[in-house]
Structure 1
Amino acid sequence: MSRKQAFQKALEHHLAGRLSDAEAIYQQILKKEPDNADALHLAGVVAHQGGKNQIAVELIRRAISRKPAFPEAYSNLGNVLKAQGEIEAAIGCYREAVALKPDLIGAHNNLGNVLRDLGQLDQAIASYRQALAYKPDHAEAHYNLAIALNDQGNLAEAVVSFRQAIVFKPGVAEQHYHLATALKALGNPDEAISNYRQAIKYQPDYADAYISLGALLQEKGDLAQAIETYQKILSCRPDCAAAYCNLGTTLKDQGKLDQAIAAYRLAIEHKPGLAEAHYNLGNTLQMQGKLAEATQAYLQSLAIKPDFTEAHNNLGNVLQAQGELTAAEIHFKKLLTLNPDNADAYNNLGNVFKHQSLLDEAIACYRKALALKPAFLEAHSNLLYALSSHPNCTHPQYLIEAQLYGEKALARAKPYGSWASHSKDGAPRHLRVGLVSGDLKSHPVGYFIEGILSHLNQNLVELVAYSTKAQEDDLTARIKPLFIAWNSIAGLSDAAAAHKMHEDGIDVLVDLAGHTAFNRLPLFAWKPAPVQVSWLGYFASTGLPSMDFLLADSVSIPDSHRSAFTEKVWYLPDTRLCFTPPAGGDSLAVSPLPAGHNGYITLGCFQTLSKIGDGVLELWGRIFSALPEVRLRLQNRQMSCLTTREQMKSRLARFGIAQERVTLSGPVSRAEYLAAYAEVDMVLDTFPYPGGTTTCEALWMGVPTLTLAGETMLARQGASLLMAAGLSNWVASSAEDYVAKAAAFSLDLPSLSALRARLREQVRTSPLFDAERFARNFEAALLGMWESRRSKSNSGCGVEREKIFLHVGCGPKRKDRTTAGFNNDSWRELRLDINESVNPDIVGTMTDMSGVADESVDAIFSSHNIEHLYPHEVPIALKEFIRVLKPDGILVVTCPDLQSVCALVAEDKLTEPAYTSLAGPIAPIDILYGHRPSMERGNLYMAHRCGFTNKVLIGTLRSCGFASVAAASRGHPFLDLWAVASKSELSHEDLRKLAGEHFPAG
């Protein structure tokens, strides 16, 4: 065999993967020709492929020494050096290779790979493009270029390159997988799903593809297909911990918590070091209320991954829920050291401070969270809750923040404008009432509502529950049969939950949470029901424009305080609340006055720690100073924490209440908690956040509460309860009155003992405990609120319909920035704009409103849009307006008044500011030609291309089909025209009335 034949045979073995056969022939050649550069080079390549990198380096370098202009050898030497971690040397070899042979595709490609690994993406991309310049169909270079572009964040170009790689080398699973991931990031989930499926087709055990596909299906809400996807990979990869972990999350989203926990435990069994599995297990245990187990799961997650920010956050929340406030604070602060801009951490740290009654610190944290994430509605809710209970927060201060919350919630919603009404043939009309709450269980909300629900007339009211939290208990089981349907919306988006409620045909939707935990107030911004009501769980305005009513009584909200609410206050005749006696009722006996055998008075407070501020302790200190023998019993969940108990002792001591006069008790069962009232002679209420449930429970156990009435609804809640219970003399009107009453009641033991003996019977027959009486009042309120809204609907149609106005060119503005005539309950805004970033309901322009149906809107509002059209476009736009307006529809349009502007130009004031807008000073030149600063920034849409005087505007509107038109100029400094036009003929008086409704003053 000749040398040439031997070399050819070696190459055949080499290319076929028979490395030992190839190596043997290369060595035979080298024995005869030790300086054969080609044999040295390829023997080195074989050595590298066999893992003998040092031998490979020596052989290839010998080849180069024999043949210095050997580009292929330099390229392969680069590969070996890269494998040895000698990156800079490898780069040098690749560069030498392409310098010697510019069209050496592999060297360009490999150089790109090394540069990409170093993060030098621009240079890597340049190398891949060089390779493709010489060989446009090189699939590997297209693929590597796509990866680099993807890493650079240039997803659109990455997608193009991934597609090219697939064209030139179809059937490669990895290419489809990465294409799918890029498509997902670009917001193209359907095509991403298709490519994940292609990846799985070409590689049936491709675990990452299955997991990514399942996660995307889960995001789309297709939970059944997601579960099927995870089960498929587990059938061939039963040890795939990541699949078990994702399966658990999907099952959790379905509300199958036990199955989810089982999946997480299997993930941990197969991969104990998977921190995410421990974390998700903790999340699910937390949802089940198994807080101690959840704590251990989070701790295990952090033991594996100490910088796991989400685990620190959720562990802090669980510790907080268990009363371990100091430990919770540590984890939130640790999270902030890891991520100083974490809005969630500030929000949750604020909750810790709130529970410690450190309201100023809590408010500062909530404001920091909102500064980092302005649309963070949960933090805004918490801020409002803290402000509502802050002693120095006034009605106007609170209302400003509440209205801001309402604006944010509305900006994320697309409110419904029509609702189906329900009735049953041959029977009295049923009012379908939805209750939205996370507390339909053993919770203050549950305690207040249980007795009421059982007394509602089912011939008048149908109840539908929308539970925002998965946790249920015995109370839940007792009330569930009282509902015609029970829905969990814990895993649903606001849009999906609102859609469900709208489809259910709810007549009156009642929020029981306000700005408390587990609220779903943002979904109320979608207006899924024609009547929406805030009641029971919160004591201030929600701030939502879509919340129609708030249920109250005249004690909690005096007539003079109604302006503190965005909702209309609907008054119940006796009390806004009715308490359900504890389970066991009279079996829980009222004990004799403990002072009789103790020889001293025991004042009690079983309120949560967050209500016991320094202002409260200061008054208590004055009482204890006046009554040297009295004792204090504090009992709440937070007292289970040793650190918190010590902090409370120190706080009490600062106000003159010595440690030996105080008993601090932690959480116990409800029966034990109620029995503890046997140790209390009377209760001292907190302020400005008084007791609710605790006050009613104390009354049932024969223990009166001394409350201090304040100025806000919250601060007056104690007064409302005691007035309803017939204990008006236990309501103090001032701090001095509070101290004086405490002393007087404490010194009159016979009266206190007599009251204790009769109190249960007194409250049992009072409005505060008379559930049947309250149910009748509640039914009347529901029907009254419904009728007040129904009266605005078309008579007898069964569907309430608000009139719709199309807000053309809305930009970021909302209904409240239109006209007084539109900004009321009679009108619903439909927003149209060309700019999708302002979240319009319809994307379109004045000249193309194809997204709006013919004769579908009652009115159009267009403010300072028409001047941006060319003259020939104006008739096109106005005819579009005519098309979409109903036969009796109206148009309200504003634009610059060129007659007034030209008067200023005639005075040589072309560039002098005429007025100042939100965009800055506006001169006549800006009104004539467009806002100069905006156009300088490239926003050429701000150019003005046509203009109108009063006469020209009226003539233009009439020529385009409007039958009746009225217009007016506001002159200086406004320099604008306002016109109202109707498709149908209107009298002069009707036109004048329309103008009065919509034209601004001045």
Structure 2
Amino acid sequence: MTPADLLSLQARHHHDAGRLAEAETLYLRSLAHDPFHHDALHGLGLLHHATERERTATALIGRAIALSPLTAHYYRDLAVGLMKLGRLATMAAACRIATMLAPGDRNGWTMLGMALSLSPCDTPATVTVLRRAILSGAGTVPVLMKLGETARLAGRKTLAVAAYRMAAALSPQDIYLLYNLGTVRKEAGEPREAIAAFRQAIRIDPSFGHAFYGAGDCLIRLEQADEAAGILRQSAALDPARFDTLSGLARINEIENDNTAAERWFRRAAVVNPGDAVAHFNHGIVLERLNRQGDAADVYDKALEADPNLGGAHEKFIFKLNIARWRDYERDVERARRFVRERGGKVLPIPFTYIPSTPAEQLLCARRVSADAVPAGAADWRHRFRRPAGEPDKPILTIGYLSGDFRDHAVAYLVTGLLEEHDRTRFRILGYSTSPDGHGQPIRRRIEAAVDGMRCLHDLTSTEAAERIHADGVDILVDLSGHTRYARIDVLALRPAPIQVNYLGYPGTLGADFMDYIVVDAFTVPAAQQPFYTERLVHLPHVYQVNDHRKMAALPRARAEYGLPDDGLVFCCFNHTAKITPGVFGIWMRLLRAVPGSVLWLLIYNQEALAGLRREAAAHGVDPNRLVPAPIIPQAQHLARYAVANLFLDTFPYTAHTTGSDALWMGCPLVTRTGETFPSRVAGSLLHAFGVPELVTDTAAAYEALALELARSRTRLAGLRSLLLDRRATTPAYDTPRFARHLEQAFETMWMLHRTGQPSRPIQVMPVQPADV
């Protein structure tokens, strides 16, 4: 034994006996004999720990490790000093090495568990280490709580519950631990067990507001609204400014359909926590239900200020468009486009098509919404519903039309004639309604009479609806809703039919791999735009939009009865207010100023919209009263209004669709502007079908110039009206039987490709002549 060894052993004897001064002297003498004596360096380091000289202690033990890097307890003792110095990440690293060198050392695992309980770590690997630490005997409350927290963040709810339960058993009076136990049990789908934990915390401390809210939230989930309200009011009494309690009371009012009371609670919650984006968002939702669109728009702006990445709030600029609140229009448009384009955000596609955007951006937008709608287990259902290629040819194909608009809606008025005209010797036609509305309406009764069977899917789950369609033997399922209200993309995602087609209801791609085709025409979607569609393009001749040649208009009333001047020129636009952009409106105002005595007749859905448009007119120097409101009225009476209007001014970039075909059917000339996107080209397609392509422009300046030229020539306008009325009987846009033959030709081509095992491909339908129909 060397002198250094002997002195180190003597130092250790004094150290263990608590004679620290003598021990330090002997450690130093040992190191004087041998400066590289790692036991003496380690012992002196421990002595410095005991006398709270941590920096020197960690330096001495670090030197000992450098000399003996495989000694496990050196790392464990180094961790003690690192913990005291607050160097938690380094502490955890030292503990990991200690457990690797001595995996059977309980003390090493205890230190590692302590290190991880103090460190901000939340990875699945940490969960594994913490479990090992606990199994090795380091089951202290801090370690168990850290395991619970980390497992929760990793999505391992069952493990999180188990960890918090063990911790609560060791410390049953810790109200915060009980609150955490209740929270993880709630998140694990165990609301009753969560309530027990929250109530235990309340018994220990009746002033613990967090537990009152937790119990109330669970009672809401259990649909026990009365009991939830009682306990949340107790929470509010303890802390009137508690954010989550106020939100919980608002939710109870929502359940009770008392939106006025819910709005008050949400407003208070947003005041209490103005930086909480979700608080503003929830407030906006209730304001929507109260039809306070302007207030909702303001609140959604606050939500985006608090969190620019809050997806649901980005699409809410639609409420500003609904009421012509354009103060921040350019900012709102760019913010929504950037959110979709650069941040991977999700925005509802219909509002997104109302603003200037590109086909590529609209594809991105649609892809994300469709992907989010795919139910869990969709692949298994697709396999179950799969019908192999090589099916025998069938004398009669079953076509299913899936729609949320078999009701008093534009799509219903467009498609009913088609349903009636289908050739029943070749096709069996079924309707699948996904809307709760429409029962008993005249248009619904006509649709039900037109199809060979109507199924109501609104109350069915994704799988139930898909099973119904599959059981009906549908060969081709045509979706008429797309990304609109009452759409059932979740059902389409299960592929209940071997061929699925996107048509009419939404002007664009669904962005989904479970849709095979989209029906268009060469003008609305040129072949070169195929890259922006996940479906294969099916080009119909002439026009893609079907119309009903049997629709009837009422007799027009005198202009005065509509609030119009007897002699002044009447511009009209019966598109939705949300489709009106500041740029287009500026053109309209210049036209009003340039044509004395003229008025602009606009379809008005609510008084906020009228007030907003008239406010903008005044800002353009136009008498607000020159904007004449047209209220919502039955279709036949609405069609009659076109007879007394002189010129339809189209919107952009979302042009007239049903309103365009209505105007042309009634002989009202329409001026449009086209762009690159599907919705910007529909009116142009209709005008080509009516044989008046000269009314289609491609720039804002050309649109304005043409509209002004026509407005200054009543003779030319009258000539156009006569021309349109003459062509009503011959235009492909209203030749419903011929349109049906074209679409049926497309269906038969789709079926041929499927049954012969060929992949879907673009289809060009050959035109038939009226005599061939």
TM-score bucket (shorter structure):
0.5 to 0.7
Whether the 8 Å contact between 2:603 and 2:632 is mirrored in structure 1 is no
1:81-125 deviation per Cα after TM superposition (whole angstroms, max 9, x unaligned): xxxxxxxxxxxxxx99953999xxxxx99x999989x98755997
2:577–2:603 Cα contact (<8 Å) kept: no
Instruction: Verify the 8 A CA contact 2:643 2:667 in the aligned structure 1.
Output: no
Contact 2:575–2:651 (CA under 8 A) maintained in structure 1: no
Name the residue aligned to 1:420: 386
* 1:617 to 1:101, Cα distance in 2 relative to 1, 3 A: closer
Q: Does 1:179 align with 2:147?
A: yes
Q: Structure 2: how far apart are the matches of 1:263 and 1:269?
A: 10
Question: How many Å separate the matches in 2 of 1:764 and 1:570?
Answer: 26
Distance 1:529 1:299, change over 3 A: farther
**Distance change (3 Å), C-alpha of 1:196 and 1:730:** farther
Matching residue of 1:599? 566
Cα-to-partner distance string for 1:16-35 (whole Å, 9 max, x where unaligned) = xxxxxxxxxxxxxxxxxxxx
Whether 2:64 is the aligned partner of 1:99: answer: no
The whole-number CA distance in structure 2 between the counterparts of 1:280 and 1:772 is 57
1:152–1:441: structure 2 CA closer, same or farther, 3 Å change rule? farther
1:18-97 superposed matches below 5 A:
none
Deviation per CA, 1:414-444, whole angstroms, max 9, x where unpaired?
Answer: 989966239999997653647376x676654
Q: In the alignment, what sits opposite 2:129?
A: 160
How far did 1:640 drift? 0.6
Equivalent residues of 2:232, 2:245 under 8 A apart: yes
Matching of residue 301 in structure 1 with residue 269 in structure 2? yes
**Counterparts in 2 of 1:896-907, with a 5 A limit?**
none
Q: Which residue of 2 aligns with 1:216?
A: 188
Q: Distance in 2 between matches of 1:699 and 1:327?
A: 38
User: What is the CA–CA distance in structure 2 between the aligned matches of 1:783 and 1:122, rounded to whole Å?
Assistant: 67
Q: 1:704 to 1:548 in 2, by over 3 A?
A: same
Mapped partners of 1:562, 1:100: distance in 2: 73
Q: Which amino acid aligns with 2:572?
A: G
Q: 1:696 to 1:161 in 2, by over 3 A?
A: same
**Counterpart in the other structure of 2:672:** 708
User: Equivalences for 1:849-868 in 2 at 5 Å?
Assistant: none
Deviation at 1:148, TM superposition (A): 1.6
Give the corresponding residue for 2:499. 531
Query: For the Cα contact (< 8 Å) 2:347–2:365, is it kept in 1?
Result: no
CA distance in 2, matches of 1:174, 1:503: 57
The residue correspondences of 1:263-274 to structure 2 (distance < 5 A) are: 268-269=232-233, 271-272=235-236
Contact 1:245-1:267 within 8 A present in 2 as well: no
Q: Alignment partner for residue 147 of structure 1, among 106, 112, 117?
A: 117
Q: What one-letter code is carried by the residue in structure 1 that aligns with 2:275? A: D
Q: CA deviation digits over 1:194-228, x for unaligned, max 9?
A: 667878999899565354234234xxxxxxxx567
Q: Match for residue 686 of structure 1?
A: 650
Q: Aligned equivalents of 2:663 and 2:86: distance in 1? A: 67
Query: Is residue 365 from structure 1 mapped to residue 332 from structure 2 by the alignment?
Result: no
1:662 matches 2:634: no
Amino acid paired to 1:687? T
Cα gap change, 1:142 to 1:560, in 2 (>3 Å): closer
Alignment CA distance shift 1:503-1:556 (3 Å):
same
Tell whether the 8 Å contact from 1:619 to 1:739 is kept in structure 2 after alignment.
no
Structure 1: runs of 5+ lacking an equivalent: 1-66, 70-94, 103-107, 218-225, 252-258, 794-801, 803-823, 827-1002
Report the AA paired with residue 691 of structure 1. A
SS for the counterpart of 2:601 is strand
Q: Which residue of 2 aligns with 1:790?
A: 755
1:615–1:405: structure 2 CA closer, same or farther, 3 Å change rule?
Answer: closer
Counterpart CA distance in 2 for 1:488 and 1:704 is 42
CA contact (8 A) 1:409 1:522 kept: no
Aligned 8 A contact 2:469 2:497 in 1: yes
Question: Of 482, 486, 491, which aligns to 2:457?
Answer: 486
The TM-score with structure 1 as length reference comes to: 0.49
Is the partner of 1:306 in helix, strand or coil? coil
More divergent stretch after superposition (231-240 vs 551-560): 231-240
Q: Which residue pairs with 2:602 in the alignment?
A: 634
Query: Structure 1 residues 558 and 161, CA, compared in 2 at 3 Å: closer, same or farther?
Result: closer
Q: Corresponding residue for 1:738?
A: 707
Moved more, 778-787 or 556-565: 556-565
SS across alignment from 2:602: strand
Name the SS for the 1:209 alignment partner.
Answer: helix
Shift of 1:686: 1.8
| SS of corresponding position for 2:680 | coil
- Partner SS, residue 118 of structure 2: helix
- 1:146-168 superposed Cα distances (whole Å, 9 cap, x missing partner): 5323x344663455335544664
The answer on 1:435 being equivalent to 2:402 is: yes
Identical amino acids, percent of aligned pairs: 19
Change (3 A) 1:769 1:360: same
* SS across alignment from 1:633: strand
1:520 Cα offset (Å): 7.8
Equivalent pair of 1:549/1:569 in contact (CA under 8 Å): yes
Q: 1:243 to 1:607 in 2, by over 3 A?
A: farther
Report the Cα distance in structure 1 between the residues aligned to 2:289 and 2:637, rounded to whole angstroms: 18
Query: What is the number of residues matched between the two proteins?
Result: 653
Distance 2:92 2:247 in 1: 38
The 3-state SS of whatever aligns with 2:274 is: coil
Q: 1:541 to 1:289 in 2, by over 3 A?
A: farther
Measured at CA, do residues 415 and 126 of structure 1 come closer, stay the same or move farther in structure 2, by a change above 3 Å? closer
Change beyond 3 A, Cα 1:633–1:332? same
Kept in 2: contact 1:329–1:349 (CA 8 A): yes
Give deviations 1:281-337, integer Å, cap 9, x for gaps: 878999999976765453243134322211223444665788866645543443454
1:548 aligns with 2:500: no
8 Å CA contact retained: 1:324, 1:641: no
Question: What is the CA–CA distance in structure 2 between the aligned matches of 1:293 and 1:776, rounded to whole Å?
Answer: 55
Distance 1:825 1:629, change over 3 A: closer
Question: Once the two structures are superposed, what CA deviation does each residue of 1:649-674 show, in whole Å capped at 9, x if it has no partner?
Answer: 24542xxx333423457x76879995
* Alpha-carbon distance between aligned partners in 2 of 1:568 and 1:343, rounded to the nearest angstrom: 29
2:386 partner letter: A
Deviation by residue 1:168-189 (Cα, 9 ceiling, x = unmatched): 488x999767534422433445
Query: SS where residue 544 of structure 2 aligns?
Result: coil
CA distance in 1, matches of 2:225, 2:417: 35
1:513, distance to aligned residue in structure 2 (A): 5.0
Task: Determine helix, strand or coil for the equivalent of 1:536.
Answer: coil
Cα gap change, 1:691 to 1:175, in 2 (>3 Å):
same
The TM-score, its normalising length taken from structure 2, stands at 0.61
The correspondence of residues 311-326 of structure 1 with structure 2, limited to 5 A, is 311-316=279-284
Q: 1:595 to 1:641 in 2, by over 3 A?
A: closer
| 1:334 and 2:302 correspond | yes
Distance in structure 2 (CA, Å) of the matches to 1:569 and 1:497:
27
1:365: how far off? 0.8
3-state SS of the aligned residue for 1:376? coil
Q: Does the CA contact (< 8 Å) of 2:117 and 2:145 recur in 1?
A: no
Structure 2: gaps (5+ residues): 1-17, 21-46, 55-75, 204-210, 763-773
Q: Structure 1's 409 and 501: CA in aligned 2 closer, same or farther, altered over 3 A?
A: farther
Distance 1:681 1:321, change over 3 A: farther
Q: Aligned letter for 2:710?
A: K
